[in-house]
């Protein structure tokens, strides 16, 4: 498959226009990939506000460096790679956010069962989510990114390997480790 | 390493459909007959469902506008501004260039048609050429040994087809054919 054919029909034209400074063309590209880019950033930083900020930064960086994009990989993979790099750097700079802050604290409070009629099933589900989030926070950014890119974003191993710039074998081993780790943590909390 | 240990490494890729066909077949055959591996595979699947379930996508309303606003605040390199300006110009001009070219061609053609050059070419009479060629036989070239000048020309010579005005080589000599 040629490099050009990897791009959607009008994507090549949009990229060409954006390279020449056409902000409307770039706006269409932003619309097209914003959700996925936010998802990739969220997979690493695990905080919605930070993920949004990083996603914006991703598009700004992409716009600034469009000239260096040569269609060797697909445009989406190139974008996700920028997002992942920014998010991993951010995470390393900031350290782990194990504490609950701001809006997160409010949503944690909302998850508590109210006395006026939350069903037990709903409570169990939100409790599972809470545990899962806590378990994800236990993982390193690299392991969390791999498992969320696979399970939530539905990316293939090769694409994850491209985005995180690591061998496919590393993707497989990180995924195996992350799955087992989450499984162990969840089992332990279930037993407790 | 037991068969279970080997297969457990492949359960995730098996569930993700990322194994080679023969490996997929091997793992599938093992899982059917091994309760522990079947349970591990079910756990992986449940984990995937739970992860997708707990994933929350932040609201992205106004995201594009925010990105474009940040881009507008970037210092634009001069080359990019020029390139954009030229592109816009080219887009506006591209439709008018063929019209202008056609108009210019029509104007040139009209101008050429009304000039004497075109008239001469278009209305050139073949009769004149024939007359000229028939009169050519009547022409006599002056002898170099006996130059004939207008001053010393005899009466019969004055009726000849040629009149030499001067012997001086620097003087222009006009050859006139006999008039009918």
Torsion angle in degrees (nearest 10) through CA of B18, B21, B24, B25: 170
What residue in A sits closest to B72 (Cα-Cα)?
Answer: A23
CA distance B167 to A9: 86
For chain A, the structural domain boundaries read 1-97, 107-192
The verdict on B13 touching A (C-beta cutoff 8 Å) is: yes
Nearest CA-CA distance, residue A151 and chain B, Å: 6
The verdict on A182 touching B (C-beta cutoff 8 Å) is: yes
Whether A90 and A50 have beta carbons less than 8 Å apart is answered as yes
Based on its alpha-carbon atoms, the radius of gyration of chain B, rounded to whole angstroms, reads 51
CB pairs under 8 A between A and B: 105
**CATH number attached to the domain at A1-97:** 1.10.1740.10
What residue in B sits closest to A135 (Cα-Cα)?
Answer: B51
CB B175: neighbour CB atoms within 10 A? 12
For chain B, the structural domain boundaries read 3-54
Q: What would the DSSP string read from start to end of A71-92? A: SSS-HHHHHHHHHHHHHHHHHH
Q: What would the DSSP string read from start to end of B157-176? A: HHTSS-----S-TTS-----
What is the pTM assigned to this prediction? 0.61
Whether A43 and A143 have beta carbons less than 8 Å apart is answered as no
The predicted-structure confidence for A154-179, as pLDDT tens digits, reads as follows 999 999 999 888 999 999 999 999 99
Nearest CA-CA distance, residue B74 and chain A, Å: 9
The verdict on A125 touching B (C-beta cutoff 8 Å) is: yes
Encoded tokens for B81: 């501004």
CATH 3.40.50.450 fits domain A107-192: no
**CB neighbour list of residue B71: distance below 8 Å, 6 or more residues apart:** A23, A26, A59, A60, A63
ipTM: 0.72
Q: What one-character DSSP code corresponds to residue A9? A: T
Taking CB atoms and an 8 Å limit, are A42 and B57 in contact across chains? yes
Which of A148, A152, A175 lies nearest to residue B12, judging by beta carbons?
A: A175
The predicted-structure confidence for B5-55, as pLDDT tens digits, reads as follows 888 889 999 999 999 999 999 999 999 999 999 999 998 998 898 888 887
Q: Do domains A1-97 and A107-192 have the same CATH topology?
A: no
User: What is the structure's pLDDT at B170?
Assistant: 67
The verdict on B18 touching A (C-beta cutoff 8 Å) is: yes
């Amino acid at each position: 498959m040629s490099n050009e054919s990897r791009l959607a029909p009008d994507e090549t034209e949009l990229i060409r226009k954006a390279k020449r400074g056409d902000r409307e063309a770039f706006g269409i590209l932003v619309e097209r990939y914003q959700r996925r880019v936010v998802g990739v950033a969220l997979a690493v930083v695990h905080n919605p506000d930070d993920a949004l900020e990083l996603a914006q930064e991703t598009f700004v960086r992409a716009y600034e460096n469009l000239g260096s994009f040569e269609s060797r990989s697909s445009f989406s993979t190139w974008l996700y790679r920028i997002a992942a790099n920014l998010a991993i750097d951010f995470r390393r700079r900031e350290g782990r956010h194990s504490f609950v802050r701001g809006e997160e604290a409010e949503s944690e409070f909302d998850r508590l069962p109210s006395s006026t009629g939350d069903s037990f099933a709903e409570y169990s589900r939100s409790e599972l989510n809470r545990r899962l989030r806590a378990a994800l926070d236990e993982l390193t950014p690299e392991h969390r990114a791999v498992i969320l890119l696979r399970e939530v974003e539905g990316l293939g191993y090769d694409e994850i390997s491209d985005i995180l710039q690591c061998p496919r074998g590393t993707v497989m081993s990180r995924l195996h480790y992350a799955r087992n780790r989450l499984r162990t943590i969840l089992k332990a909390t279930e037993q407790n | 390493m037991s068969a279970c240990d080997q297969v457990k490494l492949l359960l995730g890729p098996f569930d993700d459909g990322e194994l080679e066909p023969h490996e997929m077949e091997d793992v599938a055959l093992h899982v059917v007959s091994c309760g522990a591996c079947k349970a591990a595979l079910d756990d992986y699947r449940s984990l995937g469902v739970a992860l997708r379930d707990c994933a929350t996508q932040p609201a992205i309303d106004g995201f594009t506008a925010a990105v474009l606003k940040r881009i507008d605040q970037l210092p634009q390199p001069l080359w990019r501004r020029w390139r954009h300006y030229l592109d816009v110009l080219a887009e506006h001009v591209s439709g008018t260039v063929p019209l202008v070219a056609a108009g210019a061609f029509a104007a040139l053609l009209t101008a050429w048609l009304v000039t004497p050059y075109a008239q001469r070419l278009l209305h050139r009479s073949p009769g004149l050429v024939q007359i000229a060629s028939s009169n050519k036989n009547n022409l006599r070239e002056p002898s170099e040994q006996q130059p004939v000048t207008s001053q010393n020309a005899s009466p019969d010579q004055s009726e000849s087809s040629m009149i030499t005005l001067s012997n001086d080589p620097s003087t222009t000599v006009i050859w006139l054919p006999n008039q009918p």
